[in-house]
């Protein structure tokens, strides 16, 4: 809120032509059409809806929309903090808190909601950071956009395939005494968070008359 005037001023400037040396040099390239971003957003939203419905997460579509609204609200202030201080803040606890109130008694739903709010915000800032770097080193915007899109699709396929292979082929994976130390500590953290914020829920911890 302290920087609200700076945010509004810079937003207005972003709608007009930028006159710094980098922007002048980048005018040699064709800019990315806005409908490319809109199309990616709509396609991603459709995949998100399909994912939460097919996988029986019990997260309603309005819950996914609520996660997107939270991301939209926080992306600019979190991006400013990252740009000014080089420190990235995350929405994991806020996502768990909101989902815990909205979906009490649904541990998986709370974790899916948390993952959407936290991961999408972090990835959006990484995308903006990459595009900013591309702007400074004069990579054509359309080429950069296409490279980011293709790399994201490949990353999703490869990461899911590797995870599934590991689950199917590594003996005793995600157990405390696994011989190669594939103990999956982050998954244990997720499991604990699902119990605290989903099964128990913030209403039983922070509401009137609670502990």
Output the DSSP codes for 144-198: HHHHHHHHHHHHHHHHHHHHHHHHHHSTTTTSTT-TT----HHHHHHHHHIIIII
87: its two tokens: 């420190």
Establish if 62 belongs to a structural domain: yes
Question: Is the pLDDT at 76 greater than 90, yes or no?
Answer: no
pLDDT at 206 exceeding the cut of 90: no
Domain count of the fold of the chain: 1
Q: What is the pLDDT of residue 138?
A: 93
Q: What distance in Å separates the CA atoms of residue 135 and residue 138, rounded to the nearest whole number?
A: 5
Report if residue 4 sits inside a domain: no
Instruction: Note whether residue 57 is domain-resident.
Output: yes
Q: Looking at beta carbons, which pairs linking 2-8 to residues 24 or more positions away fall under 8 Å? A: 3/80, 7/76, 7/80
Residue 74 lies in a domain: yes
pLDDT confidence band for 18 (50 / 70 / 90):
low
**Mean pLDDT within 128-134:** 90
Per the domain annotation, does 17 fall within a domain?
Answer: no
């Amino acid at each position: 809120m302290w920087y609200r005037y700076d945010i509004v001023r810079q937003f207005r400037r972003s709608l007009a032509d930028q006159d710094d040396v980098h922007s002048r040099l980048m005018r040699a390239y064709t800019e990315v059409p806005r409908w490319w971003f809109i199309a990616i957003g709509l396609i991603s939203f459709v995949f998100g809806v399909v994912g939460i419905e097919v996988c029986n997460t019990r997260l309603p579509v309005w819950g996914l929309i609520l996660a997107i609204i939270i991301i939209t609200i926080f992306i600019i202030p979190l991006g400013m903090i990252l740009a000014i201080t080089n420190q990235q803040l995350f929405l994991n606890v806020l996502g768990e808190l909101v989902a815990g109130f909205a979906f009490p008694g649904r541990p998986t739903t709370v974790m899916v909601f948390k993952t959407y709010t936290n991961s999408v915000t972090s990835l959006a800032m990484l995308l903006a950071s990459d595009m900013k770097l591309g702007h400074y080193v004069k990579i054509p915007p359309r080429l950069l956009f296409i490279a980011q899109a293709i790399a994201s699709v490949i990353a999703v396929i490869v990461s899911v395939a590797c995870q599934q292979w590991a689950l199917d082929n590594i003996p005793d994976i995600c157990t405390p005494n696994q011989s190669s130390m594939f103990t999956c500590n982050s998954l244990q953290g997720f499991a604990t968070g699902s119990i605290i914020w989903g099964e128990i829920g913030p209403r039983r911890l922070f509401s009137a008359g609670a502990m």
